[in-house]
């Protein structure tokens, strides 16, 4: 699937992982977590990830999978508290610091009023916010999110991008795979463009998103513009072959 | 925390109910013995009269087995539903009950159980071991929930077919009748030897099943999310399959296949524990013990002298009840 892919994420970076369907965005994220078999090296803060236990890795990387299915009608609060699992010894309960992080994550995603509601009864957008709060509660220095904006309305999409930018501003690293190129261009500090398992471009949004690349990688003609201090990318039509 | 307090209250109530039913199970039977007398006879170590014999050799093992097997079915059902994230999962799904039954049937068929009294439960345990090896090999180390379910279904069908073959070719009608009766599932006339045979496997199985509770909570969000939160899925799968095999294999070996308890009890209790998988495990174990003890008392009260089989009662009561549950929750299931 992926070949010769190499990149690193620094503190304070909000990296947008972009590329057409099947380019290998999800696979790259999952390989970084050790969820799929991969050759090559993954290092977290200079340490080899392969030598870490799953729990050690979970304290360093939080992951927001594409799948948003919640198996049982458990309360919103319980879902968010799962984020603390990697930080607790095997049979210990939550301590004060854990509770504070859970409250903080729920507050950030504005979930207080849903606290006791079964998470399965929420709307798609609300459910997505609950799962993001869960990842926030994990409190890892690196957050990997697989299409976090899918199924969210524009205001929640922007709220989410703002949150990720804030997290990066606090000194964390954030990597999100995205399909909305304008959203990616306006909010990410850096974009990594993947196509057929290889990195095509890696750099600031304005350097990565060019008309030629959109034509060769996505096969679309696009209108690039500037608005309100950020870039706009509007795909117009299929590129002529 | 209100939820935690409610959960403790639930466990307390279930434990109290299990104790009451256990004592009732000791005092109900064809030999009309008074309550005080029977309890006194139970602890009578000197006098080996008929009373003490009935209490210590017949009713005590029956009540203990009811408690242990009920807990096994409830616990393993809750673990499998949590691990497979499927509300229809139950211990029989892995094919363990069916292969254990086949082992027992072969022991009866070949006359092995006549030559060697413990031959039947041991053959059943061997059957359970075969099921584990096949399911684990099929699902592989990276295998998913669906593979386990399909492997279990295939294995169950094969074991059922082999059992039918044994019945079909049975040399005499008595062996066939014995096979049929054994397969219905019962706790009648079990001895302390059966308890001692099953207990070690069950205790080991319970320990394995109980250890995955936390991981099951995390699995609520799916396999990838659980793995990213530090859950070792291979370990959880191994513990769930081995734990079920050890405990349910032992249960089937001494009592035959008793259905529906492992399916219905976790369903019944899930709303009371906020659907949290780790909390469902102890609740479901206690609930399973209550249901099985109650059912075993009922078969003695409803039809004294008829030897109504326990497995028949649990299915007759369990199946319609399950239908009602499905009817009530169908909107949530869809």
Q: Give tens-digit pLDDT for B112-133.
A: 888 887 888 889 989 988 888 8
* Closest residue to A65, CB basis, from B219, B224, B274: B224
CB neighbours (10 Å) of residue B270?
Answer: 23
Q: How far is it, in rounded angstroms, from Cα A146 to Cα A25? A: 8
Given an 8 Å threshold on Cβ–Cβ distance, is B276 in contact with A86? no
Q: Is A148 on the interface with B (CB under 8 A)?
A: no
Nearest-CA distance B211 → chain A (Å): 9
Residue of chain B nearest A76, judged by CA positions:
B274
Residues of chain B in contact with residue A54, where contact means CB-CB under 8 angstroms, are 227, 230-232
Weakest-pLDDT range from A110-114, B6-10, B180-184, B302-306: B302-306
In this predicted structure, what is the pLDDT of residue B324?
A: 84
Residue B131, CA distances (Å) to B93, B99, B141 in order: 11, 6, 16
In this predicted structure, what is the pLDDT of residue B332?
A: 57
Helix, strand or coil for residue A157? helix
In this predicted structure, what is the pLDDT of residue B334?
A: 45
Residue B327 pLDDT class (50, 70, 90 cuts)? confident
CA angle B247, B251, B252 (to 5 degrees): 120
CA angle B312, B26, B193 (to 5 degrees): 75
Given an 8 Å threshold on Cβ–Cβ distance, is A71 in contact with B221? yes
| CATH code of the domain occupying B63-333 | 1.10.3470.10
Q: Per-residue pLDDT tens for B269-311? A: 999 999 999 999 999 999 999 999 999 999 988 887 778 899 9
Q: Is B275 on the interface with A (CB under 8 A)?
A: yes
Q: Is B222 on the interface with A (CB under 8 A)?
A: yes
Q: How far is it, in rounded angstroms, from Cα B174 to Cα A150? A: 65
Nearest-CA distance A197 → chain B (Å): 21
Assess whether pLDDT exceeds 50 at residue B210. Answer: yes
**What is the average pLDDT value for chain B, to the nearest integer?**
87
Compute the average pLDDT of residues A40-53. Answer: 76
Residues of chain B in contact with residue A72, where contact means CB-CB under 8 angstroms, are 220, 270, 275-277
Chain centroid offset of residue B221 CA:
28
Residue B46 pLDDT class (50, 70, 90 cuts)? low
Assess whether pLDDT exceeds 70 at residue B333. Answer: no
Residue A194, CA distances (Å) to A16, A33, A74, A178, A231 in order: 11, 18, 37, 11, 20
Beta strands in A5-160 (DSSP E): 14-18, 43-44, 47-48, 61-64, 142-146
Residues of chain B in contact with residue A58, where contact means CB-CB under 8 angstroms, are 228-230
Domain chopping of chain B, boundaries: 63-333
Q: How far is it, in rounded angstroms, from Cα A30 to Cα A28? A: 5
Helix, strand or coil for residue A122? coil
A 75-134 residues with CB below 8 A of B? 75, 78-79, 82-83, 85-86, 90-91, 118, 120, 131, 134
The yes/no answer to whether this complex scores an ipTM above 0.90 is: no
Residues of chain A in contact with residue B225, where contact means CB-CB under 8 angstroms, are 63, 65, 67, 131
Domain chopping of chain A, boundaries: 14-204
Is domain A14-204 given the CATH code 3.40.50.300 in the classification?
yes
What are the residues whose beta carbons fall under 8 Å from the beta carbon of B95, sequence distance 6 or more? B131, B134, B135, B151, B152, B153, B154, B155, B156, B159
Residue B104, CA distances (Å) to B163, B166, B288 in order: 10, 11, 24
Residue B256 backbone phi and psi in degrees, to 5: 80, 180
Q: Per-residue pLDDT tens for B71-85? A: 999 999 999 999 988
In this predicted structure, what is the pLDDT of residue A104?
A: 92
Assess whether pLDDT exceeds 70 at residue B163. Answer: yes
Q: Is A54 on the interface with B (CB under 8 A)?
A: yes
* Closest residue to B229, CB basis, from A71, A74, A82: A82
Nearest-CA distance A82 → chain B (Å): 6
In this predicted structure, what is the pLDDT of residue A168?
A: 93
In this predicted structure, what is the pLDDT of residue B74?
A: 96
Q: Is B236 on the interface with A (CB under 8 A)?
A: no
In this predicted structure, what is the pLDDT of residue B330?
A: 67
Mutual orientation of helices B119-139 and B192-210 as an angle, nearest 10°? 20
Nearest-CA distance B94 → chain A (Å): 20
Nearest-CA distance B171 → chain A (Å): 50
Q: Return the residue matching tokens 């009561």.
A: B317
Q: Is B231 on the interface with A (CB under 8 A)?
A: yes
Residues of chain B in contact with residue A73, where contact means CB-CB under 8 angstroms, are 275, 332
* Residue A134: exposure state from Cβ atoms within 10 A (0-12, 13-18, ≥19): buried
Q: How far is it, in rounded angstroms, from Cα B313 to Cα B100? A: 21
Residue B149's H or E segment, with its range, is helix B145-168
Given an 8 Å threshold on Cβ–Cβ distance, is A59 in contact with B220? no
* Residue A130: exposure state from Cβ atoms within 10 A (0-12, 13-18, ≥19): buried
Q: How far is it, in rounded angstroms, from Cα A85 to Cα B276? A: 14
Q: Per-residue pLDDT tens for A131-153? A: 999 999 999 999 999 999 988 88
């Amino acid at each position: 699937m992926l070949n010769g892919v190499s990149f690193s994420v620094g503190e304070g970076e909000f990296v947008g992982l972009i590329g057409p369907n099947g380019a290998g965005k999800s696979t790259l994220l999952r390989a970084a977590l050790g969820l799929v078999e991969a050759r090559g090296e993954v290092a977290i803060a200079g340490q080899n990830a392969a030598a870490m236990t799953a729990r050690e890795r979970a304290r360093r990387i939080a992951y927001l999978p594409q799948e948003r299915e919640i198996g049982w009608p458990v309360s919103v609060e319980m879902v968010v508290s799962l984020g603390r699992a990697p930080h607790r010894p095997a049979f210990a309960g939550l301590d004060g610091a854990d509770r504070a992080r859970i409250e903080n994550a729920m507050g950030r995603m504005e979930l207080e009023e849903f606290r006791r509601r079964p998470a399965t009864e929420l709307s798609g957008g609300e459910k997505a916010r609950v799962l993001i709060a869960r990842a926030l509660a994990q409190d890892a220095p690196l957050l990997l999110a697989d299409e976090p904006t899918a199924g969210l309305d524009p205001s929640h999409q922007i709220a989410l991008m703002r949150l990720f930018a804030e997290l990066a501003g606090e000194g964390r690293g954030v990597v999100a795979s995205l399909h909305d190129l304008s959203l990616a261009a306006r909010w990410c500090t850096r974009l990594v463009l993947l196509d057929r398992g290889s990195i095509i471009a890696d750099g600031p949004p304005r350097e990565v998103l060019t008309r030629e690349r959109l034509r060769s990688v996505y096969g679309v003609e696009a209108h690039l513009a500037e608005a309100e201090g950020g870039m706009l990318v509007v795909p117009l039509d299929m590129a002529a072959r | 925390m209100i939820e935690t307090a409610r959960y403790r209250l639930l466990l307390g109530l279930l434990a109290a109910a299990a104790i009451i039913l256990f004592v009732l199970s000791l005092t109900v039977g064809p030999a009309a013995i008074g309550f005080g007398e029977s309890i006194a006879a139970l602890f009578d170590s000197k006098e080996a009269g008929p009373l003490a014999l009935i209490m210590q050799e017949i009713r005590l093992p029956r009540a203990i087995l009811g408690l242990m097997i009920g807990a096994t079915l409830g616990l393993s059902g809750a673990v499998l539903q949590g691990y497979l994230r499927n509300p229809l999962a139950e211990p029989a799904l892995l094919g363990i009950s069916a292969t254990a039954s086949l082992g027992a049937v072969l022991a009866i068929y070949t006359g092995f159980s006549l030559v060697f009294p413990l031959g039947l439960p041991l053959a059943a345990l061997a059957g359970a071991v075969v099921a584990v090896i096949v399911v684990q090999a099929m699902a592989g180390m990276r295998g998913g929930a669906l593979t386990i379910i399909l492997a279990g279904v295939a294995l169950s069908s094969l074991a059922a077919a082999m059992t039918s073959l044994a019945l079909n070719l049975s040399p005499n009608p008595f062996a066939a009748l014995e096979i049929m009766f054994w397969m219905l599932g019962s706790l009648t006339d079990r001895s302390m030897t059966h308890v001692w045979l099953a207990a070690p496997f069950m205790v080991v199985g319970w320990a394995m099943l109980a250890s995955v509770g936390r991981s099951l909570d995390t699995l609520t969000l799916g396999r990838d999310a659980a793995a990213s939160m530090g859950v070792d899925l291979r370990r959880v799968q191994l513990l769930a399959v081995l734990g079920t095999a050890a405990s349910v294999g032992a249960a089937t070996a001494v009592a035959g296949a008793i259905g529906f308890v492992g399916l219905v009890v976790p369903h019944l209790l899930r709303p009371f524990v906020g659907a949290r998988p780790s909390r469902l495990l102890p609740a479901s174990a206690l609930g399973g013990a209550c249901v099985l003890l109650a059912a075993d008392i009922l078969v003695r009260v409803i039809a004294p002298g008829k030897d109504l089989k326990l497995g028949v009662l649990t299915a007759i009561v369990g199946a319609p009840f399950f239908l009602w549950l499905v009817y009530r929750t169908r909107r949530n299931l869809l």
